[in-house]
Amino acid sequence: MPPAAPISVFVARKIVTMNPSHPEATHVAVRHGRILGVGSLDELARWGEYRLDDSLADKVLLPGLVEGHSHAVEGGMWRYCHVGFHDRRGPDGKLWPGLQSIEEVVGRLREAEAGLGVPDQPLFAWGLDPIFFGGRRMSRADLDQVSTTRPVIVVHASGHLMNVNSVILERARIDRSSNIHGVLKDDAGDPTGELLEFAAMFMAYRVVGDEYLMTRTSAEGYRAFGRLANLAGVTTATDLFNDLKPESVEHLRQVTAAADFPLRLLPAFNASSAKPEDGIAKMAGLVPTSTDKLRFGLVKLMTDGSIQGFTARLRWPGYFNGRPNGIWNMAPEEIRRYVDAYHRAGYQLHIHTNGDEASEVTLDAIEAAMVAQPRPDHRHTLQHCQMADAAQFRRMASLGVCVNLFANHLFYWGDAHYSQTMGPDRAERMDACATALREGVTLAMHSDAPVTPIGPLFTAWCAVNRLTSSGRLLGAHERIAVADALQAITLGAARTLKLDHEIGSIEVGKRADFCVLEDDPTAVDPAGLKDVRVWGTVLGGRPFPASGG
């Protein structure tokens, strides 16, 4: 027998374990990347010789945070200039302060423009959210201040519209005589440079090519995503919508195999990219090739659109401002067919349902699949599920369905939900974390990065405080306790990924994955949860300081 691997013992100011039978400790012993014991140094020393690591002695350890719904494309977007309203950190750790006016956006774009080489190279930027600019819209004149010779494209946070400068308008031959749906014009009849929806945006992409669309799923993008996760204290994250084409699988393998990649990544297969039988065959081939940092097995379905885009499928009484019901991304009969096929084949489904009609159809489909083929502990998970009411949560509980709620929405779009999409009553029970817990549903919550930044402590803050970006308290009775929120971003999320036997708490036998904090989230004022400082992570016993160390 080979000699047992050496033991490292980490000492910390406090270890919050999320294990109710041993909730706190000061030391954790690690062997082979796994947790050998949790307790005092005295207790752990009984295992034999060890090396004491006191580099985290003044930190607070949590189980490595788990982001159950994110998209790795966020990594690739940081090649380009970010112009969002809220502060956001890039993969290099650099803080991009939020921009509070169009002038500030133009200022940042001019800086970025000055850094570009080739004179004709397009300038791309992303994350613009003009709803915060008091009604003022960006115009071509603003972007012409950035450049009158190089194409400039600024994509909005929603992804459904963009602003462009005059160079693009001219090259795309868009002028006052164009009568094109989605090309906005000013009072004088000239295009403003704002392009809405697919066709108008296509005209702009035609000028600059597909580079911006393609580079987002490169190997470098996955690496950058790993760094973003590390900065947020995340050790396990999903890439919750991936066609798993051979070249992206190859990128995933390459990137996650590197010892210095600080993340366990779970790509979820986009089931609608193939017939069920082909998708199931593909999964059967991929699952056995999983490694400890790359896990195949999750399957993603998309049922409807988004609430703020008025494309989510709603039950009565529909949208507050009277807009027609949204659109299906898959027909209800297709949802039933795909759920049944993947359920039978033994896979775990993660199903995007924003509106409550989409959630209802999905629950019906899962129930029918379970009647046809009983299967214990399937843990199919509704993703977003923002409008579920108590009765739907009760159905989830009795069907064994988990939920991953989009708590960040409360802050980012809560005001719009209150005034336009849902109206006060339903807005106050959106992303109903308290109801989910009360009804006994396994709860996770998420960022949907890049839609909002990855950062489970911020997500927990949203669920605990339920404050919108204007400061409105949205649904006091749906607030949850800090302890419950911390559970949802660790063990709760791990349960929705069927990994709670491996990660999600600091206890014997699990992987030595820790979120390392400067402050104690259980001791700070709950209003300050989002400001708890992240030192970095430990993954499989190896420290990954966010500073790069």
Residue ranges that bind Zn ion, judged by CB under 5 A: 352, 448
Residue 497, CA distances (Å) to 383, 403, 470, 513, 516 in order: 12, 11, 34, 16, 22
Q: How far is the CB of 458 from another protein (least distance, A)?
A: 19
Applying CB under 8 A, what is the total number of residues that bind another protein? 56
CB 195 within 8 A of CB 182: yes
- Residue 430 touches another protein, criterion: CB under 8 A: no
For 458, phi then psi, to 5°, come to -65, -40
334 binds, among another protein, Zn ion, none (CB under 5 to 8 A by kind): another protein
DSSP H helices in 308-455 = 332-344, 356-372, 390-399, 408-412, 414-416, 423-428, 433-438
Nearer to Zn ion, 446 or 495 (CB): 446
Stretch that binds another protein, among 109-117, 171-179, 370-378, 421-429 (CB under 8 A): 171-179
Nearer to another protein, 142 or 357 (CB): 357
Stretch that binds another protein, among 153-161, 282-290, 467-475, 503-511 (CB under 8 A): 153-161
- Residue 129 touches another protein, criterion: CB under 8 A: no
Cα separation, 395 vs 439, whole angstroms: 9
Nearer to another protein, 103 or 197 (CB): 197
CB 152 within 8 A of CB 143: yes
Q: Which of 158, 215, 419, 469 binds another protein (CB under 8 A)?
A: 158
Q: Which of 254, 329, 469, 522 binds another protein (CB under 8 A)?
A: 329
Chain residue whose CB lies nearest Zn ion: 352
- Residue 318 touches another protein, criterion: CB under 8 A: no
Under DSSP, the state recorded for 45 is: H
Q: Which of 23, 309, 526, 545 binds another protein (CB under 8 A)?
A: 309
Residue 386, CA distances (Å) to 368, 413, 441 in order: 23, 12, 14
DSSP string, 207-219: HH-SHHHHGGGSH
Q: Which of helix, strand or coil describes residue 547?
A: coil
- Residue 94 touches another protein, criterion: CB under 8 A: no
Stretch that binds another protein, among 94-102, 175-183, 425-433, 434-442 (CB under 8 A): 175-183
Q: Which of residues 15-44 bind another protein (CB under 8 A)?
A: none
- Residue 210 touches another protein, criterion: CB under 8 A: yes
Stretch that binds another protein, among 34-42, 91-99, 329-337, 368-376 (CB under 8 A): 329-337
Nearer to Zn ion, 382 or 464 (CB): 382
- Residue 524 touches another protein, criterion: CB under 8 A: no
Stretch that binds another protein, among 41-49, 428-436, 448-456, 499-507 (CB under 8 A): 448-456
SS (H, E, C) 133-191: CCCCCCCHHHHHCCCCCCCEEEEECCCCEEEECHHHHHHCCCCCCCCCCCEEECCCCCE
- Residue 144 touches another protein, criterion: CB under 8 A: no
Q: Which of residues 347-366 bind another protein (CB under 8 A)?
A: 352, 354, 357, 361
- Residue 159 touches another protein, criterion: CB under 8 A: yes
Buried b / exposed e across 24-39, counting CB within 10 Å, b at 16+? ebbbbbbbebbbbbbb
Q: How far is the CB of 366 from Zn ion (least distance, A)?
A: 18
Longest dimension (CA), the chain: 84
Q: Which of residues 405-424 bind another protein (CB under 8 A)?
A: none
CB 467 within 8 A of CB 478: no
- Residue 181 touches another protein, criterion: CB under 8 A: yes
DSSP H helices in 164-309 = 166-171, 197-208, 211-214, 219-231, 246-257, 276-286
Structure tokens at 150: 């190089």
- Residue 111 touches another protein, criterion: CB under 8 A: no
Q: Which of helix, strand or coil describes residue 329?
A: coil
Q: How far is the CB of 264 from Zn ion (least distance, A)?
A: 19
Q: How far is the CB of 306 from Zn ion (least distance, A)?
A: 7
Q: Which residues contact 154 (CB under 8 A, 6 or more apart)?
A: 83, 105, 109, 124, 125, 126, 128, 138, 143, 162, 163, 164
Cα separation, 108 vs 272, whole angstroms: 39
Cα separation, 456 vs 304, whole angstroms: 25
Q: How far is the CB of 464 from another protein (least distance, A)?
A: 25
Stretch that binds another protein, among 19-27, 116-124, 321-329, 501-509 (CB under 8 A): 321-329
Nearer to another protein, 22 or 315 (CB): 315
**Amino acid residing at 177:** S
- Residue 73 touches another protein, criterion: CB under 8 A: yes
Structure tokens at 337: 């067919």
Structure tokens at 253: 């393998």
Nearer to Zn ion, 102 or 298 (CB): 298
Binding site for another protein (CB under 8 A): 71, 73, 158-160, 172-174, 180-183, 197-203, 205-206, 209-210, 213-214, 241-243, 270, 272-275, 302, 305-306, 309, 311-312, 324-325, 327-334, 352, 354, 357, 361, 448, 450-451
